[in-house]
Structure 1
Amino acid sequence: MVIFRVTNNINIKTTDGTLVSYFKLKGPSNLINETLYITTYEDFLDLKRVFKNVDEKKYQVKVIEESRVTNNEQFPKELGIVNKNEFNTIVKKRKELITKNSNFSDNLDFISLFLNNKKVNLHEQVSNTLKQDIKIAILGNMGFNIGEMVSSVSALRIFYEQLKKRFSTVKIDIYLNSSENKQFTRDKQIFENQEFVNKVTALSISVKKLCEYDYYIDTSLVTKTAYYEKLNYVDAWLYKLGIDFEKIDDSRKYNSLNLNRYKPSKSLVQKISDIRLKGKVLLYHPFSADANRSIPKEIAINILKKLINKLTDYTIISTLNIDGVKDSAYVDLSSYSKSFLDYAFIISNADKIITVDTATYHISDIFFIPSVVVFTEEKLVNRIKYYENCKAVLVCDKSKNLSLFNFDKNSLVLNRFEAWKDLKVKQIIKLLD
């Protein structure tokens, strides 16, 4: 985490309209201060960029020595893996990432190597607490894409259940990265629709406000750590939270989402109702935000046509706009999927799913929907480790780069899509059955 003050008053509005206000430091002698602020390292970098774009001379951030604040007896205790003096550690270590031949000082993947990753024990951390009612603040995002966040919620639920064995009430508030988070509304929807989460709002948080909590968890740079890269998402967050993931039964590592407070539009409800009247529904999701995980467009269209011909008892739907296919058995729902909850609602109404490596299968696990996931890297298959209703298909890259240089140029790559041509629709359908 980073503790800082600002040189001038400023307001920043999040995508859902939440206003984050920063005020020039008042009463500097009092470090438990409502005008001293705390945020994650990632959000701090975003905030600096925002200030620079507005007026970098007028709006600046001044970092406060962390120990001056955290050593105060009023300051809450950190749970999970602790990174004391994180900002100072990063500043010092960044210098070591600069050599005559290279500069990795701004690369978060390298910076994270210097942070504490040692295993801790949650129960030992809370063992001396006499209170029976506790409040916990989570600082930052538990993951940055939908799949990561949906999985992290599973770990957070287990964390909550473990603490409930020790305390009468456990109140969890989440403060999400917000300074340049264009997906803040989506991220907020994922976490606030969990029964065990009390509140979801925006970073930064004042030092005075954080001191109202008994404990806090700092998520700075977790997604850049070695354990996050190696472990399944759920296990990685359990490890971060101080829970031995190997001692947690696999059956508890399921995903969850509460849609009781969500009200889909009448048009979406009617559209889904009309589709379901025709019979069974299959959701097809061939594209990812990462081009390397997406089925090439022409092959994706060809697969869709084959699915239409072979699965005559299904209506095939998609939340993506797939050009080149017009058939009464295929329905494009991209115009109805306007939010994360719309997306989840549409998925929940499918009988079966075919998808590439996207958030789709993380959500399908919530609703116990049989899914086939097409992966392009063997290590990624680890992500469905606890999903009993998911089957994996691995497409191995057959491309060969003719260039000896470390850059990707399409004209110098052979057989880029050859592996996708070997993807058999019959194999996918057999796995679904």
Structure 2
Amino acid sequence: MVIFRVTENINIKTTDGTLVSYVKLKNPSNLLNDTLYITTYEDFQNLKQVFTQISEKYQAKVIVEKRVRTLEYFPKELGIQNKNEFLNITNSKKLLNTKIKDYSDNLDYVSLFLDNNQVFLEDEIKNSLKQDIKLAIIGNVGFDIGEMIASCTAIRILYEELKKKFKTVKIELFLNSSDNKQFTRDRQIFSNQYFISNVSALSISVKKLFNYDYFIDTSLVTKQAYYKELNYVDAWLYKFGIDFTKITEHRKYNTLDLSKYKPSKSLVEKFEELKLKGKILLFHPYSADVKRSIPKEIASKIVKELLNKLNDYVIVSALNIDGINDDAFVSVSNYSKSFLDFAYIVSNVNNIITVDTSTYHISDVFFIPTIVLFTNENPLKRIKNYNYVKAVVVNDKSKNLSFFKFDENSLVLNRFESWQNIKIDKIIKLLD
């Protein structure tokens, strides 16, 4: 965590219209203060950038964390602790700036200096005499949809473990917001979980944090070695101080509550219409990462082959796929306007073929048989707990003809060869 003050009053609006207000420090001698703020390291860096873009008079000044942590009744940190983070990072950056090369801006290197030693939740809470507790999670628990859905599984298990000790448990989440263009989406994901009481925007004031009994700081967790070695659920359990090897596999299922979500009338009617035509297959060929995506012309070719071989299916896509003129193919991209819209679409299909995106994390929630076409990632790690997901590995056979350290498409040979060799019959057999 980073504790700081601002030099001028300012409001920052999140993507859903939430105002995060920062007020110039009042009563500096009082550290239990509603004008001293706490956020994650990532969010603090974004906030400074926002201030720079507005005016030089807006600045964020770091407060020595130890001064605040030593206050009486400061809430206890659960899981792997992140004490004096800003000071530790500042010192580690000095070590990473060598005469040969400056590594200090690379957070992967910086994170090597942070604590990642295993701790145990039961030891941290065993002496508490309270029956009712409030826990604040400070920062994003993952940054893309798949990560966040999987992290929700870990938070649910954390909730269940805390319930063994306490009568009531309230978990509130404070998301990075300073330059989070996906704040609305992120909030939707976590707000639709029964074990999370409230989702708000960072920063949080020091005074407000004192309303909680415990907190968890997620700063730079996604840069840690354990996060890269373990699957997402186990990595977050490790962070929370829960021995993931002792959590049975049947507890590691994904959850998403759509009971509060109201799909549009047109979306409901569209799927009622599609279900009358036969079984529904969702085809999701594109990812935000081009290396995980099926090339457009090959995606069209795959759809045509699926249409030819799956006569009892209607094929739908929430993405635009060009070159398809068949009544058995339906684009539902106009209906997929939010994360919850897409989750509703996934929940209403019979089968899915997708590249490595959040789609298969969502499909696991609704027990939808899914084939995932993986390229670079380790599929066994990614789908470890998913009983309804099967993997097809598409090995990248591309060769870079350039000796320079940049990716120039014109200098890459055979980039799409593996996609061209995809065997649709094999995929259909896996679906069966």
What are the equivalent positions in structure 2 for 1:308-327 lying under 5 Å apart?
A: 308-327=307-326
Alignment partners' CA distance in 2, 1:48 and 1:378: 33
Structure 1 CA distance for aligned equivalents of residues 18 and 406 of structure 2: 41
Residue-by-residue CA offset, 1:171-214 (whole Å, 9 max, x unaligned): 00000000010100100010010011100010000000001100
Q: Please, which moves more after superposition, 410-419 or 198-207? A: 410-419
State the Cα deviation string for residues 237-271 of structure 1 (Å, max 9, x = none): 00000000000000000000000000001111111
Map of 2:246 onto structure 1: 247
| Aligned residue type for 1:277 | L
Matches within 5 A, 1:64-213: 64-213=63-212
Which residue identity lines up with residue 145 of structure 1 in the other structure?
D
Kept after mapping to 2: 8 A contact 1:32/1:208: yes
Partner of 2:2: 2
Trace 1:298-377 onto structure 2 (pairs within 5 A): 298-377=297-376
Question: Quick check: 1:227 aligned with 2:226?
Answer: yes
Shift of 1:100: 2.9
Q: CA deviation at 1:377?
A: 2.2
- Tell whether the 8 Å contact from 2:136 to 2:171 is kept in structure 1 after alignment: yes
Q: Deviations over 1:78-129 (max 9, x none)?
A: 0010011000000111111212332221111111111100000001001111
- Give the distance between the partners of 1:326 and 1:37, measured in 2 at CA: 56
User: What runs of 5+ residues in structure 2 fail to find an aligned partner?
Assistant: none
Q: Offset of 1:378 from its aligned partner?
A: 5.0
The reply to whether residue 42 of structure 1 matches residue 42 of structure 2 is yes
Which amino acid letter does the alignment assign opposite residue 286 of structure 1? P
TM-score, normalisation: structure 2 = 0.99
> Within 2, Cα distance between the matches of 1:381 and 1:345?
27
Residue 145 of structure 2 aligns to which amino acid in structure 1? I
| 1:415 corresponds to | 414
1:32 aligns with 2:28: no
Q: Is the 8 A contact 2:120 2:242 kept in 1?
A: yes
Contact 2:188 2:339 in 1 (8 A): yes
Q: Deviations over 1:282-335 (max 9, x none)?
A: 000010000000011111110011011111111101110111112110111111
Task: Report what 1:257 is aligned to.
Answer: 256
CA deviations 1:212-242 (Å, max 9, x no partner) are: 1000000000011100001000000000000
Tell me, yes or no, if the aligned pair for 1:375 and 1:381 is still in contact at 8 Å: no
Q: Is the 8 A contact 1:119 1:242 kept in 2?
A: yes
Question: 1:38 is paired with a residue of what secondary structure?
Answer: strand
Letter in 2 for 1:52: T
Q: Deviations over 1:336-366 (max 9, x none)?
A: 1000000000000010000000000000000
Aligned to 1:236: 235
The secondary structure found in structure 2 opposite 1:365 is: helix
Task: Confirm or deny: 8 A CA contact 2:2 2:44 kept in the other structure.
Answer: yes
Find the aligned partners of 1:327 and 1:405 in 2 and give their Cα distance. 45
TM-score normalised by L of structure 1: 0.99
Structure-2 separation of matches of 1:103 and 1:378 = 29
* Separation in 2, partners of 1:14, 1:371: 34
AA of the residue aligned to 2:320: N
**CA–CA distance in structure 2, aligned partners of residues 381 and 134 of structure 1:** 37
Distance apart, 1:412 and its partner CA: 2.0
Amino acid at match of 1:338: K
* Structure-2 change in CA distance of 1:193 and 1:74 (3 Å): same
- Residue aligning to 1:291: 290
Could you tell me whether the CA contact under 8 Å between 1:132 and 1:168 is conserved in 2? Answer: yes
Residues 12-48 of structure 1, C-alpha deviation per residue, up to 9 Å, x if partnerless? 1111111100000011111010000000000001100
Q: What CA distance in whole angstroms lies between the structure 1 residues aligned with 2:314 and 2:410? A: 39
Contact 1:255 1:362 in 2 (8 A): yes
Point out the more displaced range, 409-418 or 13-22: 409-418
Comparing 291-300 with 142-151, which one deviates more in the overlay?
291-300
Q: Which amino acid counterpart does residue 96 of structure 1 have in structure 2?
A: L
Which deviates the most, 326-335 or 408-417?
408-417
Report the secondary structure of 1:197's partner residue: coil
Q: Following the alignment from structure 2 to structure 1, what is the Cα–Cα distance between the partners of residues 51 and 72? A: 32
Where 2:335 maps in the other structure, the secondary structure is coil
Q: Report how far residue 273 of structure 1 moved.
A: 1.0
SS at the partner of 1:195?
coil
Larger displacement relative to structure 2 (317-326 or 213-222): 317-326
Q: Which amino acid aligns with 1:182?
A: K
Q: Which amino acid aligns with 1:354?
A: I
Conserved? CA contact 2:379–2:391, under 8 Å: no
Question: How far is 1:379 from its partner?
Answer: 1.8
Is the Cα contact below 8 Å between 2:351 and 2:431 reproduced in 1? yes
The percentage of aligned residue pairs carrying the same residue is 67
Post-superposition shift, 1:74? 2.0
CA distance in 2, matches of 1:327, 1:255: 35
Deviation at 1:414, TM superposition (A): 1.5
Of 351-360 and 295-304, deviating more is: 295-304
User: Which runs of 5 or more residues in structure 1 are unaligned?
Assistant: none
Identify the range of structure 1 (251-260 vs 419-428) with the bigger mean alpha-carbon deviation: 419-428
Distance 1:426 1:305 in 2: 13
How many pairs align? Answer: 432
Residue of structure 1 equivalent to 2:266: 267
Question: Residues of 1 paired with 2:241 and 2:300: CA distance?
Answer: 46
